Structure 1
Amino acid sequence: MTSNLANVEEYFRVNMEKKLFIKVPEQEDHDLTPATKLLEKRREMLEVENGLNQQKEEFAMKIESLAQRREELARKETQLKESLMKFDKFLKENDAKRTRAIKKSHEERKTREQKEVEILNLRENMGKLSSKKDRQLKNVDTNLAYQRYLESVLENVEEFGEVKDIIGRFDTLAATNAELLDRAREAQDRTEKDRMAFLHSTEEKNTTILNYNNDIAKLQTKLEELQFRSAKWQSECDQTMNNATQKSLLLGQIKMATNNLFNLVKSHLNNRLNTTNDTLVQLDKIQQFILDLSAITADMEGRLQGQPI
């Protein structure tokens, strides 16, 4: 905006200089009077002012035109933005429509494939039903012979009044036969179960007997081993008893000898020792006596050796 004003001022300044700078021939200046010159100057000033006003009007018109153009450009810019927004919205809607169309196409193709499978299944079922229909028609044709036979039975047998009586009697007999077959099957099943139970029991008893025989064989082997050990231990016991008898005899002899020595010591000490049957005590007394006797003997020998001959 500031640049435009500077350009406008420069424009007016240049035009004013052009208007004010009027070159008049020198001869004419000398011929004109001052009043004429003043009028001429006023005329020129008026022309300049009119030119200036005209230029101002033109400039104002140009400014207005520029403002209108600017408003038009702003309006067109707004319209262009709106058009762009609408176009962007249009593109997005087209993308959404295209996505929905693709999804719908996939769904329709999937539905079509499912329908084709259903059609194939229905055709197959229709073929099966057609075959079943043909079989049933054949059965009807076959059963017509039975119907004619039953009608001939009614003509010859007075027991039944209608065909349904014969069918009812047949159903009764068939039910009775089925019940008997079930009973026979159940009896056969029970017999088979009893037989299997007997075989199982027999097998278990045989296994038990075999286990008992194995245990008996093991016990017999163990008994023989124990008998062998018992004989060995009896021999060792006899040997030990013999050794014990010999040791007892030796011990008796030792006790007798000890008792005799104790009595000798006792008599030597003039019966100052207490009587006892404990061999250890006797040995202790004998040992003490021997030690005392040895000490006395040694003392006497020492004294004898110390005396002059």
Structure 2
Amino acid sequence: MALNLEDYFRTVYEDKLLVKMPEREDEQLTAATRLLEKRREMAEVEQALATQKEEFHVKMESLHQRREELGNKEELLKESLLKFDKFLKENDTKRSRAVRKARAERDMARQKDRDIERLGKEIDALQARKERLQGRVKNNAIYWEYMNKVTNRSEKFEEIRELTVRFDALLSTREQLLQRESEGQERMEAERMRLHRYTKDCSDLILQYNNQLATLQTQLDDARSQALKWESTWNHIQATAAKKTLLLGQIKMVTLNLYQMLNKQTKQEGEVAVEDTAGQLDKIQLFIQDLSDILCDLKRMDMVSAHTSSHVN
């Protein structure tokens, strides 16, 4: 906003702030007169700037109030929109409820139509069944007449009900006997299957034991073969160990003799025990190394003396 204000005042008063070049007839004015003229012009410009600033502040206050009014109107508009949205939602809810109610009533009417149709079909089916049963009763009437004749001639049964009860008892007994026979057949079949499975399991077990026995026999043969092999190897190891032991004893004796000869040559007392063959070998190695060094020094001296004599000649 400060930058815009500065541009505004610069644009409005740029022409007024421009100082005109003095013409030829003003050249006679004194410096004091020109200074007073400049001050007067600056005062006029400052007065104009103050007036414009006041007008600008008034406009800014008006714009601020206008903005507040617009904000209040916007809040009122938002509240109105919220109320209208709530009104629309309530109308949608009522309309949805009415639609669901109408749909439920239509579904109920269709269900009742279906129930009526189903009940009509059931009535037709029951009527047809009634006609069939009446036909069966008519056809079975001869059996009823026959039962009456039987009870009239029978001395044991006086009523048809007693005859039917006896017949039902005999029929139930027959069913029980058939059920027992069926259960006996099932138990017999189960026992037969169990015997078959037991026989098969025993055969499989015998076959498995035979296979294990063959495997164990093979392992026994392999173990015996390995035992013979390792026995031969052990004998060879024992023979080889005897030879190695004899060779080791010979090496120790030779080493001891060399060490004793070394002590005689160096005229030193024995610093190593008789059983310490490794220590004796170390001493012998040091002695041989010393002799080798001495021999190398002698050869070097001979070569130097020969070289010197050749130069002298």
TM-score range, shorter chain: 0.3 to 0.5
Q: TM-score if structure 1 supplies the norm length?
A: 0.46
Q: TM-score if structure 2 supplies the norm length?
A: 0.45
